[in-house]
Amino acid sequence: MHDLISEIEQFCLRNGISETRFGELAMNDKPFVSQLKSGRDLRGSTLRKLKKFMVSFEAKETLSASDVSTFPQGDLAFPHHGLLGIAHLQKHEILFILDQAQQWVELNRQSSKHSDLLSGHTVINAFFENSTRTLLSFEIAGKRLGADVVNMHAAQSSIKKGETLIDTAITLNAMRPDAIVIRHASSGATQLIADKVDCPVINAGDGQHEHPTQALLDALALRNALRKRGDKSQDFNGLRVTICGDILHSRVARSNILCLQALGAIVRVCAPPALMPSGIEALGAEPFFDFDKALQSTDVIMMLRLQNERMEGQFIPSAREYHYMYGLTESRLKEAAVDALIMHPGPMNRGVEIDSEVADMLDRSIITNQVEMGVAIRMACLDIVTRSFRKVDGWF
Ligand code: CP
């Protein structure tokens, strides 16, 4: 054990990361190293996971972002059991998912859209909170890959009879699914379920925490829009992105800040003071309260809706005032770069955070492309996270 602790200490020193960050990246468990030092037991599988993480992390550090051919291969390309957040991913792992998704973009544009990749495998979509885009695209993704897809809606489940989330997880696990996709209103609920089941879990949005597949589909839509304009880069080095709206309650904002920055973008966040989380600078994003200022020289504008379902009390004086201060209008758009792209994860509240004239701009808005990329990204994620489980060659 002493050797392992010393190996981790040296690893952290070599790579300039704290032991807390090491725990978060390697185990999704910030106090992991301090608990290890106080004598926490370690299973063989955890030790293997730690070793694999360290090899993969250092392999990545020596890579150039544009040299995709040298990215880690086999299970080192994505050494995770599931997908719970962008915070656990490294740049090359994000690029791997984006590159894998591209084949599904092509398939989805054909008249016949079927693959047998997940034939005989079962995917459960357990949604404890409303969704249109995420639920439907995970269902379509699983079906296009040939999986047996089952949707569990909380409103019709035994949760309504008082069953706990943990008992629900144990029940789902007993049905031997090959992947479980979870949406839940509580931050951390997906981790709780992932700890109780054998198969990989994908986070489809948990409270105010993370919505990783949204950030990945946004990155793919953005990369493809930039490629259409002739930019062939793998990443977003130097791209200026402004995210505006209810940053405080938004899991989309958090996952996007992490994902965009990992890919090299410069991220600004803009919100009324009451909807700006304190300490947002720690995530590396620059906060603005004046939307016009935030828009200066911005290449990409990502608008977010007010998450009324997560607000207790009054955060803004009125929707009309919010629109006046923070709504994206045609005249306000002139503050940004002349060809700035417009994004919105949906659902949109037209006339509140964004005007229809802007949301529907054919040459600037990529909002419907975001929805299209959602299916491809979710196909890639279902494929990748089930590879070990499916015993795909090179994935253990
Ligand atoms: N963007 C998003 O998560 O939309 P849904 O809530 O409709 O899934």
Mean pLDDT in residue range 26-51: 83
Q: With a 6 A CB cut-off, is 345 part of the ligand 1 pocket? A: yes
Question: Distance from the CA of 134 to the center of ligand 1, in angstroms?
Answer: 5
CB-hemisphere CA count at 13 Å for 126? 28
pLDDT, tens digit (0-9, with 9 covering 90-100), for 170-180 = 999 999 999 99
Testing ligand 1's pocket by substitution, the residue of 125, 128, 130, 132 carrying the most ligand atoms inside 8 A of its CB is: 132
Q: How far apart are CA 268 and CA 226, in angstroms?
A: 19
Task: Output the six-digit token pair for 120.
Answer: 């005989």
Question: Distance from the CA of 56 to the center of ligand 1, in angstroms?
Answer: 32
pLDDT at 162 over 60: yes
Question: Distance from the CA of 66 to the center of ligand 1, in angstroms?
Answer: 31
pLDDT at 378 over 50: yes
Q: With a 6 A CB cut-off, is 213 part of the ligand 1 pocket? A: no
Q: How far apart are CA 39 and CA 90, in angstroms?
A: 29
Give the amino acid at 19: E
pLDDT confidence bin for 85, thresholds 50/70/90:
very high
Testing ligand 1's pocket by substitution, the residue of 137, 210, 214 carrying the most ligand atoms inside 8 A of its CB is: 214
Q: With a 6 A CB cut-off, is 214 part of the ligand 1 pocket? A: yes
Mean pLDDT in residue range 5-24: 85
* Per-residue model confidence (pLDDT) at position 46: 81
CB 388 within 8 A of CB 75: yes
Question: Distance from the CA of 135 to the center of ligand 1, in angstroms?
Answer: 8
Mean pLDDT in residue range 246-269: 97
Q: Tell me if residue 122 falls in helix, strand or coil.
A: strand
Q: With a 6 A CB cut-off, is 287 part of the ligand 1 pocket? A: no
Parallel, antiparallel or unpaired: strands 300-303 and 122-127: unpaired
Q: How far apart are CA 309 and CA 207, in angstroms?
A: 10
Q: Tell me if residue 140 falls in helix, strand or coil.
A: helix
Q: Tell me if residue 127 falls in helix, strand or coil.
A: strand
Q: How far apart are CA 199 and CA 172, in angstroms?
A: 10
Percent of the chain past pLDDT 70, that is, above it, reads 96
Task: Output the six-digit token pair for 338.
Answer: 């002349």
Q: What is the pTM of this model?
A: 0.84
Write out the H or E segment, with its range, that includes residue 121.
none
Write out the H or E segment, with its range, that includes residue 243.
strand 240-244
pLDDT confidence bin for 65, thresholds 50/70/90:
very low
Q: How far apart are CA 364 and CA 256, in angstroms?
A: 19
Q: With a 6 A CB cut-off, is 296 part of the ligand 1 pocket? A: no
Task: Output the six-digit token pair for 333.
Answer: 């758009």
